[in-house]
Amino acid sequence: MLRIQGFVILFIFLSWCDQIIRHFREFGSENIPKVYSFDASVFEQEELNILDLVWSVYGKYDAKYLERLTHYEKPWVNASVDKNED
């Protein structure tokens, strides 16, 4: 049962990531324009707390820095190594 729940959660997460990627693809590696209006009512309080935490840690960085930051994480590095071995 846990494997099925894990698969469902992973599927939802990946679908959500795909939607985000498609939405912001037009910006490429450029900075995404700031949003000046924000409808917090579409989120539950726990989600807002997570968004606040993420923003407080990463909100000061530009797109290039965030890209470099994520590309140094082990899964990305491992995937790059595996790809180069093919």
Per-residue pLDDT of the chain (86 residues; tens, 9 = 90+): 445 555 556 556 566 667 777 888 888 877 788 878 889 999 999 989 988 998 899 889 887 888 788 777 777 677 766 555 55
When divided into structural domains, the chain yields a total of: 2
Containing domain of residue 20, as a range? 1-29
Spatial CA neighbour of 29 closest among 75, 74, 70, 83 = 70
Same domain, 83 and 48: yes
Same domain, 45 and 81: yes
**In which element (H, E) is residue 64 found?**
helix 63-71
Same domain, 38 and 54: yes
The predicted structure's pLDDT at residue 80: 65
Spatial CA neighbour of 34 closest among 7, 55, 6 = 55
Q: How far apart are CA 86 and CA 57, in angstroms?
A: 37
Same domain, 47 and 59: yes
The predicted structure's pLDDT at residue 12: 61
Same domain, 44 and 24: no
The predicted structure's pLDDT at residue 41: 94
Same domain, 35 and 17: no
The predicted structure's pLDDT at residue 26: 87
